[in-house]
Chains A and B, each alone.
Chain A
Amino acid sequence: MGTNAYVGLSIVIFFIGVFGMLTRRSAFFFLMSIELMLNAANLLWVVFAKSNGNLDGQVYAFFIMALAAAEACVGLAIIVLFYRKRRSVNLDDAAEMGK
């Protein structure tokens, strides 16, 4: 598997994530699609770290993982808060919050 194959794989995974984000209405699927897209980006860091022959890309992949942990932490807190207010985790209900 060469660099291009890994890049193609990353594209496929990333756009499956985009598709999930645009179509699913559940906040959980939204969050999981974001995680999927972050993973696709992570894969690219590691692939190009290997093709460039240094480790900085792998270190940044590790940073992105910690960033994803922080993002999931706050995102889930917001979901819990929204569920307490509206008894729903549907993003269509969240769209009407400002009205």
Chain B
Amino acid sequence: MGMNISAAAIIGMLFGAIAVAGALVMLTRKTALGGAISLVVCFLAFSGLYVTLDAPFVAIMQVIVYAGAIMMLIVFVIMTVDTRAEALRRERTTVIGAVVAIIIVGAGIAVYILALHDNAIITRGAGIVGTIANIGLRLFTRHALNFEMLSLLLLVALVGALVLVKQGKKKT
């Protein structure tokens, strides 16, 4: 273990630890807002992990879409909904569920620690860095149809959310 650990490996371990810590803190928060803030920390750590994996475009999108747009949307809705009564309510945790979850998470952590000694990713073929130019070229040639369908999906989700919320307002 640890013969010649590269800087990228150390940064990867650091961000991995922050991501796990952020996720665990999210689970233990009583209020939804506290959970959302710690989840933002977790998502930003994921962005750091993507940088260590030669994926700068995905890292940028992680910050803009996940840590920015999605979490902002969730925080926005949390603030419109009164969750004080929810925070006081007791959570229902079964013992067997907790035991199973702890075993599985423990096994995952064991895999993680055991695997830390092989400190390089074996890359098949020439490693390409996922810059915006490279991803864009791939996105608009090979995956052009997928891309168009995805924009359609986002449009449907947008209209669907609007219709859902408006419909509820009319009835009450």
Residues of chain A at the chain B interface (Cβ within 8 Å):
1-9, 11-20, 22-26, 28-29, 31-33, 35-36, 39, 42-43, 46-47, 49-56, 58-59, 61-63, 65-74, 76-81, 83-85, 87-90, 92
Contact B61–A62 (Cβ < 8 Å):
yes
B81 touches A61 (CB 8 A): no
Q: A5-B112, A68-B65 are in contact. List 9 more A-B contacts (CB 8 A).
A: A3-B115, A4-B115, A8-B109, A8-B115, A9-B112, A20-B26, A31-B74, A32-B35, A58-B130
Which of chain A's residues has its CB closest to B126's CB? A53
Annotate B102-115 by CB proximity to A: 1 below 8 A, 0 otherwise.
00110111111111
A36-B120 contact, Cβ under 8 Å, with A19-B105, A43-B49, A49-B55? no
Q: What range describes how many residues of B lie at the interface?
A: 35 or more
Question: 8 Å CB contacts to A: which residues of B88-121?
Answer: 89, 91-93, 97-98, 101, 104-105, 107-116, 118-121
Contacts of B164 in A (CB 8 A): 74, 77-78, 81
Within 8 A of A (CB), among B21-79: 23-24, 26-27, 32, 35-36, 39, 42-43, 46, 49-50, 52-55, 57-58, 61-62, 65-66, 69-70, 73-74, 77-78
Q: Which of A23, A71, A73 contacts B91 (CB 8 A)?
A: A23
A2 vs B9: C-alpha distance in the bound complex, in angstroms? Answer: 8
| Cβ-closest 6 pairs across A and B | A8-B112, A4-B115, A53-B125, A70-B157, A8-B111, A11-B108
Secondary structure at chain B's binding surface: helix, strand, loop or mixed?
helix
Q: Is the CB of B135 within 8 A of A55?
A: yes
Q: How far is the CA of A76 from the CA of B123 in the complex (A)?
A: 40
Please determine whether A32 and B111 come into contact, CB atoms closer than 8 angstroms.
Answer: no
A96 to chain B, nearest CB (A): 14
Which residue of the partner chain, among A16, A66, A69, contacts B105 with CB atoms under 8 Å? A16
Known: A23-B98, A54-B128, A73-B157. A15 touches B105 (CB 8 A): yes
Contact flag A32-B57 (CB < 8 Å), given A11-B108, A77-B165: no
Complex interface: chain A residues within 8 A of B58 (CB):
42, 46, 58, 61-62, 65
Residues of chain A within 8 A of B43, CB atoms compared: 39
Q: Which of B12, B35, B66, B74 contacts A39 (CB 8 A)?
A: B66
**In the assembled complex, how far is the CB of residue A2 from the closest CB belonging to chain B, in whole angstroms?**
4
- The reply to whether the CB of B85 lies closer than 8 angstroms to some CB of chain A is yes
